[in-house]
């Protein structure tokens, strides 16, 4: 890889699903680049397409169009046998670690599993690695004998993180990794992810519906609305100068982590529901919920407008 090329390049990717005989636009023309060892935060309400985008980057889903280049490899051209190699380099951490762990496997087996599948190391070296990972994610030794149902949500997520780390990946997609956790545990897990990033030179895509959660980890933030990036900027710039009305609404309703369940509800219910991606509004898709919408917003689809260097918003109101 050339040192000055980004680790990940996503160019104009789209994904539609067929639902009830209609096209559902889950992701529409999304582009971004991500430098190695940096974090891109992706924020948006439930249904905005965050998981779909993450799964396309992992190639668990194929994009309908556009290009995804990871570490110099064009993912759409990658052969089945190289997918295995790709899986080693890119891992995912899910919102619900319990659902992603086999209930009949001990923690030890769950963490060793990927190394066995990829035929990495000897039994002894894998054992040393599992124990090292357990320690690194802050779990006591004895946890190796436990089954998923014996662990708390926070412990399970630490196991999920250890599993993701086991193959020494370059990049980890964190898909709402703290959203299901207790308030007090969220901060610990986010701090752990931050420490691990430094220690293992990891690149993250960090997905959340909560801008406050994303803020702490992200270098760059993309705001997703109905499958489209409506604003993107370096994290500090986005917080200093939120420009798209949707970002402003998200920002005004955030609370500092830890979040409480009541507040979370409040955030997702601002100004009515997110419209159905089966039948998106004309013009700017945010116009029915936008306090500043004018005539042009109702009829004409806005284009990207530059706010400042590296900062754009897709809104007619940007001068």
Q: Applying CB under 6 A, which residues contact ligand ADP?
A: 17, 19, 24, 26, 44, 46-52, 277
- Of these partners, Mg ion, ligand ADP, none, which one is at the site of residue 44 (CB under 5 to 8 Å by kind)? ligand ADP
Q: How far is the CB of 319 from Mg ion (least distance, A)?
A: 34
Q: How far is the CB of 282 from ligand ADP (least distance, A)?
A: 18
Q: Which is nearer to Mg ion, 52 or 247 (CB)?
A: 52
Q: How far is the CB of 45 from ligand ADP (least distance, A)?
A: 7
Q: How far is the CB of 209 from ligand ADP (least distance, A)?
A: 7
Whole-angstrom Cα distance, residue 160 to residue 158?
5
Q: How far is the CB of 43 from Mg ion (least distance, A)?
A: 12
Q: How far is the CB of 2 from ligand ADP (least distance, A)?
A: 32
Q: How far is the CB of 100 from ligand ADP (least distance, A)?
A: 15
- Of these partners, ligand ADP, Mg ion, none, which one is at the site of residue 242 (CB under 5 to 8 Å by kind)? none
Whole-angstrom Cα distance, residue 158 to residue 189?
8
163 in Cβ contact with 113 (< 8 Å): yes
Q: Which is nearer to ligand ADP, 37 or 64 (CB)?
A: 64
Chain position carrying tokens 């897990």? 189
- Of these partners, Mg ion, ligand ADP, none, which one is at the site of residue 252 (CB under 5 to 8 Å by kind)? none
Q: Which of 295, 138, 133, 310 is nearest to 231 (CA)?
A: 310
| 157: Cβ contacts below 8 Å, ≥ 6 apart | 93, 97, 177, 178, 181, 185, 189
- Of these partners, Mg ion, ligand ADP, none, which one is at the site of residue 258 (CB under 5 to 8 Å by kind)? none
- Of these partners, Mg ion, ligand ADP, none, which one is at the site of residue 300 (CB under 5 to 8 Å by kind)? none
Please state, in angstroms and as integers, the Cα–Cα distance from residue 128 to each residue in 123, 133, 161, 196, 252, following that order: 9, 9, 17, 18, 47
Task: Please give the full DSSP string across 40-84, using - where no structure is assigned.
Answer: EEEE--TTSSHHHHHHHHTTSS--SEEEEEETTEEGGG--HHHHH
36 in Cβ contact with 43 (< 8 Å): no
Q: Which is nearer to Mg ion, 137 or 221 (CB)?
A: 221
**SS3 for 302?**
coil
Q: What strands, in cross-sheet order, belong to the sheet with 65-70?
A: 22-34, 8-19, 65-70, 73-74
Q: Which is nearer to ligand ADP, 44 or 160 (CB)?
A: 44
Q: Which is nearer to ligand ADP, 28 or 215 (CB)?
A: 28
210 in Cβ contact with 267 (< 8 Å): yes
- Of these partners, Mg ion, ligand ADP, none, which one is at the site of residue 6 (CB under 5 to 8 Å by kind)? none
Q: Which is nearer to Mg ion, 54 or 245 (CB)?
A: 54
H or E element: which one contains 220?
A: strand 220-225
- Of these partners, ligand ADP, Mg ion, none, which one is at the site of residue 24 (CB under 5 to 8 Å by kind)? ligand ADP
Q: Which is nearer to Mg ion, 92 or 230 (CB)?
A: 92
Residues binding Mg ion (CB under 5 A): 50-51
């Amino acid at each position: 890889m050339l040192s000055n090329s980004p680790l990940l390049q996503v160019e104009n990717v789209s994904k539609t699903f067929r639902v009830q005989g209609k096209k559902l636009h889950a992701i529409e023309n999304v582009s971004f680049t991500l430098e190695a060892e940096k974090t891109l935060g992706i924020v948006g309400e439930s249904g905005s397409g965050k998981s779909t985008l993450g799964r396309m980057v992992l190639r668990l889903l194929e994009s309908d169009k556009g290009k995804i280049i990871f570490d110099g490899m064009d993912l759409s051209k990658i052969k089945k046998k190289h997918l295995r190699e790709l899986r080693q380099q890119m891992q995912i951490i899910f919102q619900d670690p319990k659902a992603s762990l086999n209930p009949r496997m001990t923690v030890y087996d769950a963490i060793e599993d990927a190394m066995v599948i990829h035929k990495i190391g000897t039994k002894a070296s894998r054992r040393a690695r599992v124990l090292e990972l357990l320690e690194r994610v802050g779990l006591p030794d004895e946890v190796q004998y436990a089954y998923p149902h014996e662990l708390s949500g926070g412990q399970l997520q630490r196991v999920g993180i250890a599993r993701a780390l086991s193959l020494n990946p370059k990049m980890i997609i964190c898909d709402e990794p703290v959203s299901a956790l207790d308030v007090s545990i969220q901060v610990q897990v986010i701090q752990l992810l931050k420490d691990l990033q430094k220690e293992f030179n990891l690149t993250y895509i960090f997905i959340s519906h909560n801008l406050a959660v994303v803020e702490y980890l992200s270098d760059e933030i993309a705001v997703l609305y109905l499958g489209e990036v409506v604003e993107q900027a370096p994290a500090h710039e986005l917080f200093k100068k939120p420009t798209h009305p949707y970002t402003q609404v998200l920002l005004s309703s955030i609370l500092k982590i830890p979040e409480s369940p009541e507040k979370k509800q409040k955030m997702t219910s601002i100004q009515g529901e997110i419209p159905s991606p089966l039948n998106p509004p004309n013009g700017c898709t945010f116009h029915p919920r936008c306090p500043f919408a004018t005539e042009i917003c109702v009829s004409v689809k806005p284009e990207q407008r530059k706010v400042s260097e590296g900062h754009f918003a897709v809104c007619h109101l940007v001068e």
